[in-house]
Copies of this chain bind each other. A is one copy, B any other.
């Protein structure tokens, strides 16, 4: 059994957006009781993470940590024509994940108690990001 479906996330610039509900809805509609779900983002300056979803300060700390680890305007970067946040966005995407795989049990995402699925926009400007959910069962 294979099913896939895409959707678009409109971001408001750099930051994380929870998409657990959208992914779960597609998995439930697909109807396979057991399987493996893959979530893929079709871009190189946004990424996907599984993150603690209880305390929002986890995600603001994450943002602050990465802003220091991969600094906008770092002189090590020469590809700057698209802005000082463009190369950092590519690096942040590569340091995190382009896709996630999550087990499915009883047509639900078998996530841990505190795991949420987040799209992470790494550009400072708002973007439209395409995400594809694939389900194998």
| Chain A contacts to B: CB under 8 angstroms | 2, 4, 34-36, 38, 40, 42-45, 49-52, 55, 57-58, 60-62, 64-65, 68, 70, 74, 76-79, 81, 87, 90-91, 94-103, 105, 110-112, 114-115, 130, 132, 134, 136-137
Contact present for B79 and A110 (CB under 8 Å) = no
Copies in the complex: 3
The reply to whether A112 and B58 contact each other, CB–CB distance below 8 Å, is: no
Do B78 and A61 touch (CB < 8 A)?
yes
Q: How far is B43's CA from A102's CA once the two chains are assembled, in angstroms? A: 12
Identify which of B40, B94, B114, B130 contacts A62 (C-beta below 8 A): B94
Chain B residues with CB below 8 A from A96, complex form:
94-95
What are the 8 tightest A-B residue pairs by CB atom distance, in nearest-first order? A42-B112, A57-B79, A36-B134, A44-B52, A103-B132, A99-B101, A61-B77, A50-B98
Contact assessment for B58 and A87 in the assembled complex, using a CB-CB cutoff below 8 Å: yes
Which residues from B are CB-within-8-Å of A111? 42
Q: Is the CB of A79 within 8 A of B55?
A: yes
Query: Do B61 and A87 have beta carbons less than 8 Å apart?
Result: yes
**A4, A76, A94 interface centre (most CB from chain B within 10 Å):** A94
**A85 nearest CB across to chain B (Å):** 13
Contact A94 B36 (CB under 8 A): no
Least CB separation from A135: chain B residue: B36
